Amino acid sequence: MTSIITTRHELHEHPEAGLHLPWTQRYLLGRLEAAGIECRLGRGLTSIIAIVRGPGPSDAVSRPVVLVRTDMDALPVQEETGLPWAATNGAMHACGHDCHMAIVLHAAFEVQQRREELAGDVIFFFQPGEEGHGGAELALKEGLLDVLGTRPVAALGFHVLAHHLQCGKVVSREGAVLAGSTLIDVDFHGRGGHGSAPHLARDPLAAAAAFVTTSATMMSMRMDPREHTVLTYGTVSAGVARNIIPEKAELRGVIRGFSESSIDEVEQLARTGAEGVATSHGVTVKVGVRKDTVPTVTSGSELANLRAIVGDAVGELDEPLAIAEDFSWILRQVPGVFLLVGASTGDPATSPSNHSAKATYDDSILAPTADLVVRWVLGRLDMAAPDAHS
């Protein structure tokens, strides 16, 4: 069988971004089906639901199910690592999803070989479109959690880090592990005119600039700093010439926080602030928001279950990280654990981070993480089996 390291390198060489990942799906599907694993494909996205069933007749009432998820998509980044297996097609697994796929694929192989030991059934979910494309939400709408007739009792997800953690260290924490991300669009509409006569116009760009400054003040004065909620605007678009006051100015930003309530509070502050600025500048404003992700929250009881199975293999994450992850939508409906896995190839304090064109990940973490996944699958199903509580 192809080694887990070779699998990862083959996936790394062929990155695809977004929801439509035909090569990646074909590669994974071929490997899974060759191992005798039952697979179902997504309808609106190139996902794979790989199913390994335990022995005996399926019973939708008493037969427990657990779910393990990996993302599949890459980023539109031109790779600059210089690795022998570097991608050359303008995309890159700069966030380590190639590692995730290799880990879950080989964990599925192991579980398939040990299926007689299973006290229930397992869903290994291969998901495209994690990088801002809504893949998890689409899969949930397609019935991911009900594919076996009964919802999973627990779910497991993880993410490798090219920085921050020492290589091989695996951590989680009860509560928020990662932030939720709400996308915010603020569009000011005014009356254009000649730059020599600003009094005859209503300048939406001036309103947008004032609003960005006002937002920073509102955040510092109105939000509890212990919430660690942030609002950042990354792009502004306005105008076509230096001497023309534009008709509109558009801001695009992100709200990040570790609780949905704090994110919602910032959203309301932004709406109120935008309307106030618009009124004072004599322009109009439209605010649009979309929850890209919610906070990724680990269940305390499920973390205790995991540690009961794998012992001290999972350490404690001191504070949540402000990055976001759409596995959060699954954890919103199924109690589970999200792990962070250190995979830095150098000093994690100075190594290029996830999403960098120079990000690299250490192959040494692949097999141990796959083993942890297998141990959790077997152990968590044993805990959930009806006779475990008799």
Tens digit of each residue's pLDDT (9 = 90 or more) over 62-84? 789 999 999 999 999 999 999 99
Look over the chain and give the mean of its residue pLDDT values, rounded to a whole number: 95
The pTM score is: 0.93
* Token reading at 217: 């003040």
* Residue 134: pLDDT over 50: yes
What angle is formed at CA 153 by the lines to CA 152 and CA 157, rounded to 5 degrees?
A: 75
* Residue 390: pLDDT over 60: no
Q: What span, in angstroms and rounded, lies between the C-alpha atoms of 102 and 12?
A: 10
Q: How confident is the model at residue 60 (pLDDT cuts 50, 70, 90)?
A: low
The phi-psi region of residue 187 (left if phi > 0; otherwise alpha if psi is between -120 and 50; otherwise beta) is beta
Q: What span, in angstroms and rounded, lies between the C-alpha atoms of 356 and 338?
A: 23
* Residue 58: pLDDT over 90: no
* Token reading at 388: 């475990």
Return the pLDDT at 223.
Answer: 84
What mean pLDDT is predicted for residues 340-350? 97
* Token reading at 47: 């996902």
What mean pLDDT is predicted for residues 141-167? 97
Residues of the chain with pLDDT > 70, as a percent, come to: 98
DSSP for 63-127?
A: --EEEEEEE--BBS----S--TT---SS-B-TTSHHHHHHHHHHHHHHHHHTGGG-SSEEEEEEE
Alpha-carbon distances, residue 232 vs 218, 239, 257, 286, 322 (angstroms) = 12, 22, 12, 18, 13
pLDDT tens across 98-133, in order?
Answer: 999 999 999 999 999 999 999 999 999 999 999 999
What mean pLDDT is predicted for residues 363-375? 98
